Structure 1
């Protein structure tokens, strides 16, 4: 497998985004997924150039001055554990390295992964509107 890392979604099509959001009860469809990639302040994509499909992605939203938030990091389930997620996080942190703070929220089971990427555990608060999880109308 040949992997290319891209910092834009300009040439990505919805058909290249199959298989993400595994385990979500009401996941976004591929068209919505593409929109969220295109409208994020920053994105890094891992693309399998042989199969012409996205195999991983990370997004960030930022004010471009002091702060950024990483809402999503996903690698296709069958390709996890191969360092793709680590590379996506490293590349995103490099892109955002001029900012004061880079934050994210994660489940307890993912804390060790993010600690390995140089991040630190803190308390956080969230509000979830689960009826909007798919971003449908």
Structure 2
């Protein structure tokens, strides 16, 4: 597995298959656009086929706050430590930031606690009609 901290050489073809289970997932082109517009990004690339098999992104003011909106590993690559490695590397990238936040489903709380994260309350709005990223 190759881990890269840049979206520079990625193509939509390399990003096929993500947003599993989303009713109206972003296209691979939109996925690439959101990675390029993220403050930090780390991708896991399968060396055998050149495809991205996992990614994590962060948005930040670059001073005090960062938010990790997305982490995903393709289903056939799950339970191989890729998600753990992506989070570990992202937290290292963000180590000089005061406040690192993310939202997750209840079944993922234990996963994130392994990194020293703490459960917190939060509020969200979801505009599901915008889920695909199409405008």
**Which category describes the TM-score, using the shorter chain as reference length?**
over 0.9
Q: Which residue is 1:17 aligned to?
A: 15
1:63 to 61, 64, 67: 61
The 5-angstrom pairing of residues 1-137 of structure 1 reads 3-137=1-135
Aligned-pair RMSD on alpha carbons? 0.6
Q: How many residue pairs get matched?
A: 135
CA distance in 2, matches of 1:100, 1:59: 17
CA distance in 2, matches of 1:108, 1:120: 12
TM-score w.r.t. structure 2 length?
A: 0.98
Cα deviation, 1:18-49, whole Å, max 9, x if unaligned, reads 11100000000000000011110000000112
CA distance in 1, matches of 2:75, 2:19: 9
Q: Which runs of 4+ in 1 moved over 2 A?
A: none
Cα deviation, 1:51-108, whole Å, max 9, x if unaligned, reads 0100000000000000100000000011111100000000000000001010000000
Structure 2: where are the runs of 5+ without partners? none
TM-score w.r.t. structure 1 length?
A: 0.97
CA distance in 1, matches of 2:128, 2:67: 20
Structure 1: where are the runs of 5+ without partners? none
SS in 2 for 1:49: coil
SS in 1 for 2:45: strand
